[in-house]
Amino acid sequence: MVDIEDMEQQARDEFAYKVRFPEECKKLPMEYLTAEEIHLATKCINQDPMAPDELKQLKQLLAKYRPYMKEYDVQQVEKNLEDNVRIIKSSKELLSLLDDPNRYRFDMHYRLNGELLRLQFRIKPLSDEEYSDILSVQTRIFRNLENEEKVTYAKMLNNMELTQEEANMQQHIQDKIVEILGDVDDTNERVTQFLIDHVEMSADDETLSHDIQVKLWHTIDIGTRNLIYAKCKEILKIDEELETELFPAIE
């Protein structure tokens, strides 16, 4: 009589041998293995046929080194991160990056009368006080949210996919934001005023009158205005969440 459990275990072993075990074998510290262990790992990597007793020994070998391999994975991720970190040591080099004229440039596709336009914008420099004002608004919003709401709000800002529960939470978060910032019309007016003061087309010059800027931003629909404002906050790193430690150890 066929043993169903044996058949299921054999199927699991075959799947692991073909899919999971080869990748694990590649991470084994070969310099510390015996000749027999190296032989088993090599057979698995090459997907050579393996006898049942050999498969048993291979599983024991991998179980022995899995804690090491988990640590290796963490170290490898950290190494990859470090390899992509550009080290800046001179003031001149840092200034050249900060002074990049394209640092505050961005383009946007905009459909008007059936025609697709590519609008080229730039953000005019903000004073420390103006930057702090925008940042303080975001801080006030974030401080008044519950932990789950903070996660959902951060995902909303970064256009990440929401779970059904998070999607249901959106309106509650929007209500809180309105409560913190005041009337929606007032909020929209603040957004519009920011664009009037700090965003212009890339070819605009100092001769452009303030009245034209006011007319432009009041003519563009409020939805587009809010999208442009969100892009500005992204460029200015108002909503950015740090993915790396801000002050790493000195090398």
121 and 199 in a single domain? The answer is yes
226 and 138 in a single domain? The answer is yes
User: Can you give the pLDDT at residue 1?
Assistant: 46
Residue 34 lies in a domain: yes
CB 67 within 8 A of CB 79: no
165 and 222 in a single domain? The answer is yes
Chain centroid offset of residue 217 CA: 30
100 and 142 in a single domain? The answer is yes
58 and 108 in a single domain? The answer is no
Residue 12 lies in a domain: yes
The whole-number average pLDDT for the span 125-144 is: 68
User: Can you give the pLDDT at residue 44?
Assistant: 92
Q: What sign does the CA torsion over 133, 243, 144, 173 have? A: positive
User: Can you give the pLDDT at residue 82?
Assistant: 55
Pick the range with the lowest mean pLDDT from 9-13, 27-31, 52-56, 238-242.
238-242
Give dist(CA 20, CA 26) in Å, integer.
11
Decide which of 112 and 239 is more confident: 112
The whole-number average pLDDT for the span 46-53 is: 90
79 and 115 in a single domain? The answer is no
User: Can you give the pLDDT at residue 244?
Assistant: 42
129 and 18 in a single domain? The answer is no
146 and 226 in a single domain? The answer is yes
User: Can you give the pLDDT at residue 172?
Assistant: 80
Give dist(CA 69, CA 43) in Å, integer.
19
215 and 112 in a single domain? The answer is yes
Q: Are strands 105-112 and 199-201 parallel, antiparallel or unpaired?
A: unpaired
Give dist(CA 58, CA 15) in Å, integer.
14
pTM of the predicted model, to two decimals? Answer: 0.45
pLDDT tens per residue, range 139-185? 666 667 777 777 777 777 666 777 888 888 877 877 776 666 555 55
Q: How many residues does the chain have?
A: 251
User: Can you give the pLDDT at residue 240?
Assistant: 44
Give dist(CA 67, CA 62) in Å, integer.
9
Structural domain count, the chain: 2
The whole-number average pLDDT for the span 24-43 is: 89
pLDDT tens per residue, range 185-233? 567 888 888 899 889 888 887 777 889 989 999 999 888 888 888 888 8
The whole-number average pLDDT for the span 45-53 is: 90
CB 64 within 8 A of CB 27: no
* CB proximity list for 35: less than 8 A, separation 6 or greater: none
Confidence of residue 236 (pLDDT cuts 50, 70, 90): confident
Letter string b/e over residues 195-217, b meaning 16 or more CB atoms within 10 A of that residue's CB: bbebbbeeeeeeeeeeeebeebb
- Which one, of 70, 59, 64, 53, lies nearest residue 13 by Cα? 59
Position 249 pLDDT exceeds 60: no
User: Can you give the pLDDT at residue 248?
Assistant: 55
Residue 218 domain boundaries: 94-235
Provide the mean pLDDT of the chain. Answer: 77
**Whole-number Cα distances in Å, 35 to 40, 41, 119:** 9, 10, 65
Confidence of residue 100 (pLDDT cuts 50, 70, 90): low
Question: Could you give phi then psi for residue 141, rounded to 5 degrees?
Answer: -60, -50
Pick the range with the lowest mean pLDDT from 12-26, 133-147, 232-246.
232-246
8 and 41 in a single domain? The answer is yes
37 and 152 in a single domain? The answer is no
Residue 245 lies in a domain: no
- Which one, of 225, 224, 221, 223, lies nearest residue 198 by Cα? 225
User: Can you give the pLDDT at residue 138?
Assistant: 61
The whole-number average pLDDT for the span 46-50 is: 90
Last residue of a domain, one of 50, 83, 116: 83
111 and 187 in a single domain? The answer is yes
Residue 242 lies in a domain: no
